[in-house]
Chains A and B, each alone.
Chain A
């Protein structure tokens, strides 16, 4: 083949430009740290890159959601912890008061302290995270507690045809409306004791079983008439009845409730029951035995809080497990993202060095090739 200067020069320029191209690509890779800068460099890497990016974003978001969840769970736990302490104190005070030697004045003082503890409990139930009430179901911008509904007027209560939603508390024990009873005027406690109101006579009949000491603890049905100022009538709406869960997404398609429902954490029994204990303490006729009996109700309230806290603990555990999972996932998806599109620094560096020496060599050889012509040797 005939080769001319023009061809040599063209070839030289072509290869030099190829070298520059290679150097540019490697430089770009080196500086951006990425194998590709546009989809055409490698469409598959580009598509996967977009997918992995979304994955990383998602995992990070789920972590953020989970943080919000922890915020709720921890705040709820600390509130419930304080609530249980308050209840312990109420129990102590009640035990003190059961001592028959306490006179009316001393009992009044105890009742006052219980009042402030009750207010404290209400404040705890209104715990906020940010501007959100956490014990208010999904009705998060509304106060969950409405103490007006504790101790409602007996007459109004009595005139209601439908007494659903009302509770009657007596000596710490709370009786809920018995919907199975046709008259609609029967209230029943958790232990099965009954409280029957008669709208006609406005009488209250308390039916319970009593251990007869003298008959070796045999149980006997007892009926006792109560006056309306011995009981506390409350409406369930004293505590928010919103039963919804506040849910966050913690993994793709997996949701978790982060709230404790208001009626589970701070049931109306709690406030109504405490109110009736106060009433009992102020009443000079209350006997030590009666007060002692009310301790059982306080224990029930305490147990309720403890079991709620254990549920919270279980949920926190689950959230922690998910958090660990997410952290692992984050590492994995970031790693995948990086493996997909990040350069192997050593490799690119070596390639760059090779390309540079190649470029220098071609410059040197090119310069040598294109300079001499026959003219240099013709006289």
Chain B
């Protein structure tokens, strides 16, 4: 037999459920602009109908519904899109970092222009040609000296600017390292909080959102692979569980360290967060290449557990370690910056965009100046002609070896002292050099076109430099293009995710009206039942009294 007051209970439940739905709608509207927020939906479900199927159930035709209840409040989210999006975000992060560095490099090199190295080179050549046609002219000599100084200065300037920017990117790496570690710390914390909530059967939607937002952020720095583990207890079937986070390759494979252990950044079972420690050949030197990447357990507050940075450098007890930086095969800003800044391969080669450009500049300065000096030595300067001794004077003074040539190339002191040390003449058949002979000045000018060995390329200085700029341009335009493509892909995936997860105000308004109407109707239902009861209680059995 059904209860007299059953309708009241049904309507009350309805009011409570619609109210919950309205509250969630309100929550959605309130968070319409919160980054990382996922719209929530109240899963309404009917309560057990009356009567239940049992042996002593009352004999009534059919079951009567008893109303509605809130099943749970669920996030509307698609984890597959998340994965794709994070992969694209890593790619975008990598190319953005690369594009940033290359674009700075481009502005330093400043080609093609009337002020770059190519133009200094041309002007130097001009001055030598002028000297060749007026070898006895002191003014022409001074111009050669000045243009020589300008050329050396340009080399010095390019080299020092590149190094300065390279050092800036060292800070950028440090920042990225800190960011990654801080994100890992936070993820670990959120994981812990979730593990406290889920076993009670609740869904900590806002914590999920926070965790997803952190994972998104982490994926701009490195590629990650996420693995979910149940938190146990009375967890709801919609619960997302705890996450293990692995370092991954762009293809989504988990990266292995030197001992072939998978690199696990977040371990939900032990609630450990393992952070990055990037080690340089020499930490004191701001442009020293990256040699090793170590991973240590992070302290909940700051730094590594029980280790200072210096101790971490010395430690051999890293959780994971990558001795070969090229094995750090992951996208994201961190690798982008590292590749730009410079690293040392296991073969001992120093690589990297800045190091490469600096090495090319060194090769160029060294090879050109050495050849130039050779020609200059063979020539005769007015002073040599006067004293009739061949002093084998150099025009440029260079450091020992190729490395650092661009940074330290100078016009030789003697030449700075007196332009009459510039050897414009050559000895003729009768073995006498004359002041008016400009043959050597022409030979010096021709060094620009001399095909010699520039770091293994048989070419002339201009072509070599054009090659450098061409490669830079190619790299930069590739980075820009890839940034654009990854950006477009990321945007479209973001759209897809928003399409599923973001709050639509129109939708919420509609929902609001929907739930409001249902709420009102439930209230009306109570009035109706009230009237029914009034009839029974006050109006029944008085027979028209």
Asked if A375 is at the interface (CB within 8 A of a chain B CB), the reply is yes
Closest to B465 in A: A50
A249→B477 contact, CB < 8 A: no
Q: Which B residues lie within 8 Å of A68 (CB)?
A: 133-134
- Closest 6 pairs between A and B when the two form their complex, measured CB to CB: A39-B473, A140-B436, A43-B473, A40-B476, A4-B504, A138-B436
B466→A47 contact, CB < 8 A: yes
Asked if A357 is at the interface (CB within 8 A of a chain B CB), the reply is no
Q: Which A residues lie within 8 Å of B72 (CB)?
A: none
Asked if A57 is at the interface (CB within 8 A of a chain B CB), the reply is yes
19 pairs, A vs B, C-beta closer than 8 Å: A5-B506, A43-B474, A46-B111, A47-B467, A47-B470, A50-B111, A50-B466, A51-B462, A57-B125, A61-B125, A131-B136, A137-B436, A139-B435, A141-B436, A246-B436, A248-B133, A249-B129, A252-B449, A374-B509
| CB-contacts of A5-56 with B (<8 A) | 5-7, 10-11, 14, 36, 38-44, 46-47, 49-51, 53-54
User: With contacts A130-B134, A249-B132, A249-B445 known, is A51 near B466, CB below 8 A?
Assistant: yes
When chains A and B are docked, how far (Å) is the Cα of A131 from the Cα of B436?
Answer: 11
B513→A7 contact, CB < 8 A: no
When chains A and B are docked, how far (Å) is the Cα of A131 from the Cα of B430?
Answer: 25
Asked if A244 is at the interface (CB within 8 A of a chain B CB), the reply is yes
| CB-contacts of B416-430 with A (<8 A) | 425, 428, 430
| CB-contacts of B268-314 with A (<8 A) | none
- Least CB distance from B394 to A in Å reads 24
A46→B498 contact, CB < 8 A: no
B136→A40 contact, CB < 8 A: no
User: With contacts A130-B134, A341-B112, A373-B509 known, is A42 near B477, CB below 8 A?
Assistant: yes
Asked if A69 is at the interface (CB within 8 A of a chain B CB), the reply is yes
Q: Which B residues lie within 8 Å of A2 (CB)?
A: 499-500, 504
B438→A246 contact, CB < 8 A: yes
When chains A and B are docked, how far (Å) is the Cα of A132 from the Cα of B139?
Answer: 13
Work out how many contacts link A and B, with CB atoms closer than 8 A: 181
Given A4-B499, A40-B472, A246-B438, 20 more A-B residue pairs with CB atoms under 8 Å apart are: A10-B495, A38-B107, A38-B476, A39-B473, A40-B476, A40-B477, A41-B477, A42-B477, A43-B474, A47-B470, A53-B112, A64-B129, A130-B137, A132-B436, A140-B434, A140-B436, A244-B428, A248-B133, A374-B509, A375-B509
Closest to A6 in B: B502
Asked if B236 is at the interface (CB within 8 A of a chain A CB), the reply is no
Asked if A242 is at the interface (CB within 8 A of a chain B CB), the reply is yes
A373→B506 contact, CB < 8 A: yes
- Least CB distance from B132 to A in Å reads 7
Q: Which B residues lie within 8 Å of A7 (CB)?
A: 495, 498-499, 502
Asked if B510 is at the interface (CB within 8 A of a chain A CB), the reply is yes
Q: Which B residues lie within 8 Å of A141 (CB)?
A: 136, 435-436
Asked if A212 is at the interface (CB within 8 A of a chain B CB), the reply is no
Asked if B118 is at the interface (CB within 8 A of a chain A CB), the reply is yes
Assign chain B's interface to a size class: 35 or more
Asked if B178 is at the interface (CB within 8 A of a chain A CB), the reply is no
B499→A65 contact, CB < 8 A: no
B32→A6 contact, CB < 8 A: yes
Asked if B503 is at the interface (CB within 8 A of a chain A CB), the reply is yes
- Give B residues with C-beta under 8 Å from A: 32-33, 102-103, 106-107, 109, 111-112, 118-119, 121-123, 125-126, 129-130, 132-137, 425, 428, 430, 434-439, 442, 445, 449, 462, 465-467, 469-470, 472-477, 479-480, 491, 494-495, 498-500, 502-507, 509-510, 513
B438→A47 contact, CB < 8 A: no
When chains A and B are docked, how far (Å) is the Cα of A271 from the Cα of B495?
Answer: 98
B470→A46 contact, CB < 8 A: yes
- Least CB distance from A246 to B in Å reads 6
When chains A and B are docked, how far (Å) is the Cα of A131 from the Cα of B141?
Answer: 14
When chains A and B are docked, how far (Å) is the Cα of A246 from the Cα of B473?
Answer: 43
Closest to A241 in B: B430
A373→B505 contact, CB < 8 A: yes
Closest to B437 in A: A138
User: With contacts A50-B466, A50-B469 known, is A69 near B133, CB below 8 A?
Assistant: yes
Q: Which B residues lie within 8 Å of A51 (CB)?
A: 462, 466
Q: Which B residues lie within 8 Å of A62 (CB)?
A: 129
- Contacting residue for A39 out of B32, B132, B470, B513, CB 8 A: B470
When chains A and B are docked, how far (Å) is the Cα of A5 from the Cα of B498?
Answer: 10
A43→B470 contact, CB < 8 A: yes
- Contacting residue for B126 out of A57, A243, A374, CB 8 A: A57
When chains A and B are docked, how far (Å) is the Cα of A130 from the Cα of B509?
Answer: 92
Q: Which B residues lie within 8 Å of A244 (CB)?
A: 428, 434, 436-437
- Give A residues with C-beta under 8 Å from B: 1-7, 10-11, 14, 36, 38-44, 46-47, 49-51, 53-54, 57-58, 61-62, 64-65, 68-69, 130-132, 136-141, 242-244, 246-249, 252, 255, 341, 373-375, 378
Closest to B495 in A: A7
When chains A and B are docked, how far (Å) is the Cα of A40 from the Cα of B434?
Answer: 49
For A14, A42, A374, A378, the residue with the greatest tally of chain B CB atoms inside 10 Å of its CB is A374
B442→A255 contact, CB < 8 A: yes
When chains A and B are docked, how far (Å) is the Cα of A78 from the Cα of B491?
Answer: 78
When chains A and B are docked, how far (Å) is the Cα of A159 from the Cα of B37?
Answer: 116
When chains A and B are docked, how far (Å) is the Cα of A47 from the Cα of B129?
Answer: 24
- Least CB distance from B339 to A in Å reads 17
A49→B112 contact, CB < 8 A: yes
B509→A39 contact, CB < 8 A: no
Closest to B475 in A: A40
Closest to B501 in A: A4
Q: Which B residues lie within 8 Å of A42 (CB)?
A: 473, 477
- Least CB distance from A260 to B in Å reads 14
B436→A1 contact, CB < 8 A: no
- Contacting residue for B473 out of A1, A47, A242, A252, CB 8 A: A47
- Contacting residue for B434 out of A57, A131, A138, A249, CB 8 A: A138
A40→B499 contact, CB < 8 A: no
B134→A132 contact, CB < 8 A: yes
User: With contacts A39-B469, A242-B434 known, is A6 near B498, CB below 8 A?
Assistant: yes
When chains A and B are docked, how far (Å) is the Cα of A247 from the Cα of B129?
Answer: 11
When chains A and B are docked, how far (Å) is the Cα of A161 from the Cα of B518?
Answer: 138
When chains A and B are docked, how far (Å) is the Cα of A122 from the Cα of B533?
Answer: 145
Q: Which A residues lie within 8 Å of B510 (CB)?
A: 374
Closest to A68 in B: B133
- Least CB distance from B460 to A in Å reads 11
Closest to B114 in A: A53
When chains A and B are docked, how far (Å) is the Cα of A163 from the Cα of B506?
Answer: 118
Closest to B463 in A: A51
B491→A14 contact, CB < 8 A: yes
Q: Which B residues lie within 8 Å of A50 (CB)?
A: 111-112, 118, 462, 465-466, 469
User: With contacts A64-B130, A244-B434 known, is A54 near B502, CB below 8 A?
Assistant: no
B434→A137 contact, CB < 8 A: yes
Q: Which A residues lie within 8 Å of B132 (CB)?
A: 65, 247-249
A247→B442 contact, CB < 8 A: yes
When chains A and B are docked, how far (Å) is the Cα of A247 from the Cα of B425?
Answer: 11
When chains A and B are docked, how far (Å) is the Cα of A309 from the Cα of B358?
Answer: 56
Q: Which B residues lie within 8 Å of A43 (CB)?
A: 469-470, 472-474, 477
Closest to B110 in A: A38
Closest to A1 in B: B499
User: With contacts A6-B503, A373-B505 known, is A131 near B137, CB below 8 A?
Assistant: yes
When chains A and B are docked, how far (Å) is the Cα of A347 from the Cα of B141?
Answer: 47
B474→A136 contact, CB < 8 A: no
- Least CB distance from B133 to A in Å reads 4
Q: Which A residues lie within 8 Å of B430 (CB)?
A: 243
- Least CB distance from A268 to B in Å reads 18
